[in-house]
Amino acid sequence: MEKRVVFHGKLLPYLLLAPQLLITIVFFYWPAGQAVWQSFLVQDAFGLSTEFVWFENYALLFSKPEYYKSMWTTAVFSTLVAFLSLSIALLFAVQADKHIKFATGYKTLLIWPYAVAPAVAGVLWLFMFQPSLGLVSQAIRALGFQWNPLLDQDHAMALVVMAATWKQISYNFLFFLAGLQAIPKSVIEAAAIDGATPMRRFWTIIFPLLSPTTFFLLVVNVVYVFFDTFGIIDAATQGGPAKGTETMVYKVFSDGRSGGDLGGSAAQSVVLMVIVIALTAIQFRYVERKVQY
């Protein structure tokens, strides 16, 4: 039976919705609208005059090789983070789903990083991997490896990938664990009786049954890497060295805030907006319909 509250009159339901609608309008639609508007404008360096230029900002944006480079950086970054955080989280969840001692403590510890703010996570990893002072850096150097994320782009990328992955594992872990626990135990037992080894059981039964969770997480993770990792990058590398870790969202910030190119930065925001709308559409279309089996 569906439980449904029936309101008399229209005032109360609108009043109850108002706070959420207000937040959405003020913090989402308004800035989004502003970004779209700004992307059609060009301001002079001192902000004294503004000119409406139609799609000039976009044309300029897509003519610059740096923008494609930041796209490539974002692609590398998001692929690495999504793949690593999903696979490590799945490994942890499979282990936590077994009947082990201290399971509750283990789960709690795994969930903690999610509560850490991105900027704090970035600083944390920066400290650990700081070339001259970092504890981990010293250990790596002791092994004879020249570790320097301040100079080497690949090292910097590795650093932000690690930090971003570490933070996202908790979230993925929770969903995978819930997904695993939703698989009826008897199905796994039936597979065991059917002669499937634990490995085979995982790949032929558990993994396919987890596919809706995996797909949902994939979309959520990509959105996370696109937008929420700004804090980590800002704290750990500031997009450097030599823009080696400048993702699209970081470029919005650096072009607009530091570069003073508000129009170009707004155009980039709009591109990102289109991407996230597309991802959400995909998610609604496939995940909500549960097309897995």
What one-character DSSP code corresponds to residue 98? S
Alpha-carbon distance 242 to 151, whole Å? 8
| Cα atoms in the Cβ-side hemisphere of radius 13 Å centred on 181 | 11
Residue closer to another protein by CB (options 178, 182) is: 182
Q: Residue 187 or residue 281: which is nearer to another protein going by CB?
A: 187
State in angstroms the smallest separation of the CB of 188 from another protein.
9
How many helices (H) and strands (E) in the chain?
A: 14, 2
Of 97 and 228, the one with the shorter C-beta distance to another protein is 97
Tell me the closest approach of the beta carbon of residue 171 to another protein, in angstroms. 25
Could you give the CA distance from residue 246 to residue 249 in angstroms, rounded to a whole number?
8
Q: Which is nearer to another protein, 4 or 185 (CB)?
A: 185
CA distances for 141 relative to 124, 138, 145, 179, angstroms: 19, 5, 5, 41
Encoded amino acid at 235, one letter:
A
Pair of tokens at residue 37: 């508007």
Q: Which residue has the tokens 């283990």?
A: 106
Q: Which is nearer to another protein, 208 or 259 (CB)?
A: 208
- Between 6 and 193, CB nearer to another protein: 193
Q: Which of 3/99 has CB closer to another protein?
A: 99
Phi, psi of 41 (to 5 degrees): -115, 155
- Rounded to 5 degrees, φ, ψ at 291 are -90, 10
Cβ 290 to another protein, closest distance in Å? 11
Residue number, 3 or 101, with CB nearest to another protein? 101
| Residue 210 Cβ vs another protein, minimum distance, rounded to whole Å | 10
From first CA to last CA, the distance across the chain in angstroms is: 26
Binding site for another protein (CB under 8 A): 184, 186-187, 189-197, 200, 204-205, 208-209, 211, 292-293
Q: How far is CA 21 from CA 8, 17, 183, 265, in A?
A: 21, 6, 37, 27
Q: How far is the CB of 227 from another protein (least distance, A)?
A: 33
Q: How far is the CB of 215 from another protein (least distance, A)?
A: 14
To another protein, the closest distance from the beta carbon of 186 in angstroms equals 4
d(CA 23, CA 27): 6
In the bound complex, what is the minimum distance in angstroms from residue 187's beta carbon to another protein?
A: 5
Residue 155 corresponds to which tokens in the numbers above? 């090292």
d(CA 41, CA 45): 13
